[in-house]
Amino acid sequence: MSRFVNAAIGQLGPIARHETRPQVVQRLSALMHQAHQMGCDLIVYPELALTTFFPRWYIEDPAELDAFYEREMPGPETQALFDLSRQLGIGFYIGYGELAFEEGRTRRYNTSIIVDKRGAIVGKYRKVHLPGHAEHEPWRAFQHLEKRYFEAGKDFPVFHAFGGVFGMAICNDRRWTETYREMGVQGVEMILIGYNTPVHNPPAPEHDDLSLFHNQLVMQAGAYQNGTWVVGVAKAGIEEGVDQIGGSCIVAPSGEIVASCTTKGDELALARCDLDLCNSFKETTFNFDLHRQPEAYSRLVARKGPGLMADGTPVPSPSARTKDPS
Q: Where in 61-120 is the site for ligand CDV (CB under 6 A)?
A: none
Contact 125, 157 (CB under 8 A): yes
**Concatenated DSSP letters for 68-93?**
TSBSSSS-TTTHHHHHHHHHHT-EEE
Q: Does residue 171 belong to the site contacting ligand CDV (CB under 6 A)?
A: yes
Catalytic residue among 47, 146, 182, 189: 47
Q: Residue 8: how many CA atoms within 13 Å on its side-chain side?
A: 26
Region class of 150: left (phi > 0), else alpha (psi between -120 and 50), else beta: beta
Distance of alpha carbon 139 from the chain centroid:
27
What distance in Å separates the CA atoms of residue 142 and residue 200, rounded to the nearest whole number? 9
Among 52, 196, 226, 248, binds ligand CDV (CB under 6 A): 196
| Closer residue to ligand CDV, CB minimum distance, 46 or 91 | 46
Q: How far is the CB of 22 from ligand CDV (least distance, A)?
A: 24
Is residue 147 part of the annotated active site? The answer reads no
Q: Which residues pair with 257 in a beta bridge?
A: 251
- Size, binding site for ligand CDV by CB under 6 A: 11
Sign (positive/negative) of CA torsion 270, 275, 280, 283? Answer: positive
> Which span sits near ligand CDV by CB under 6 A: 36-44, 78-86, 169-177, 281-289?
169-177
| Closer residue to ligand CDV, CB minimum distance, 103 or 135 | 135
Among 144, 148, 181, 235, binds ligand CDV (CB under 6 A): 144
Q: How far is the CB of 245 from ligand CDV (least distance, A)?
A: 8
Region class of 255: left (phi > 0), else alpha (psi between -120 and 50), else beta: left
Q: How far is the CB of 131 from ligand CDV (least distance, A)?
A: 4
| Closer residue to ligand CDV, CB minimum distance, 171 or 219 | 171
> Which span sits near ligand CDV by CB under 6 A: 67-75, 177-185, 189-197, 311-319?
189-197
**Concatenated DSSP letters for 84-123?**
HHHHHT-EEEEEEEEEEEETTEEEEEEEEEEE-TTS-EEE
| Closer residue to ligand CDV, CB minimum distance, 203 or 307 | 203
DSSP 198: B
Catalytic residue among 40, 70, 146, 171: 171
Q: Does residue 56 belong to the site contacting ligand CDV (CB under 6 A)?
A: no
| Closer residue to ligand CDV, CB minimum distance, 113 or 171 | 171
DSSP 51: S
Region class of 171: left (phi > 0), else alpha (psi between -120 and 50), else beta: left
Q: Where in 307-326 is the site for ligand CDV (CB under 6 A)?
A: none
Pairing of strands 190-195, 229-234: parallel
Q: Does residue 264 belong to the site contacting ligand CDV (CB under 6 A)?
A: no
Distance of alpha carbon 306 from the chain centroid:
26
What distance in Å separates the CA atoms of residue 119 and residue 81, rounded to the nearest whole number? 8
Catalytic residue among 40, 127, 146, 264: 127
Q: How far is the CB of 83 from ligand CDV (least distance, A)?
A: 29
| Closer residue to ligand CDV, CB minimum distance, 164 or 198 | 198
Q: How far is the CB of 268 from ligand CDV (least distance, A)?
A: 22
| Closer residue to ligand CDV, CB minimum distance, 137 or 276 | 137
Q: Does residue 197 belong to the site contacting ligand CDV (CB under 6 A)?
A: yes
Contact 85, 119 (CB under 8 A): yes
Is residue 282 part of the annotated active site? The answer reads no
| Active site members | 47, 127, 171
Q: Give residues in contact with ligand CDV (CB under 6 A).
A: 47, 131-132, 144, 171-172, 175, 195-197, 201
